[in-house]
Chain A
């Protein structure tokens, strides 16, 4: 069963213009590009935290924004799970309350599954401040998943982790993709991560899409034109 993600909008912030006209059928999509390219802005816009000037954003059958039809769903109704770059776990709540924050009723089955998927069972009663970087990342993913989103947004989930941790957490992301089959929009500037997670890659440079297509093709082209594998 295919999934359609429509990212067709224009957004202006000061001198920066972000413009996309993409229609994607794959479930695991990556936004690839240097920092400053506007990748986080795209995620904020899809999540409903920023409003584009015009355009249309649709995830599956769910229209999130349509300037012509005057549709602009507030963030809380978009059913979009967001794992931000700075993690942003609620510091005054323990892991359990963080994870359960967006969960509706009758989710106990799902909880067990998600905790198992991300190996979080032993951490449930810990305070957020007591967790390592990798653990926090997993809690953030679990929290987003427990809200039963139609689309999962991940903003450089592994960039704050060292090489070893990155290698440890990446499999969890793959698990989430394969096991729960939640469509993903994954932001990263690391080619190997993108290769591992995404089927479709959108290359973003200074607010514009310079390439979009199957992962290998786009990554090869990017490597050829000067490589984004370099950090930052």
Chain B
């Protein structure tokens, strides 16, 4: 019981941390002018797939 409680707590903490990181990233991007928010292009790789 205790073990699953701690697993659930870890899951919640991870989700909260991930959400916080996303908001920070969005705020950093919004602080830039639109013409500087250009690092979004992935490149196709030969044989399929893509990379940043």
- Same complex for A and B? Answer no
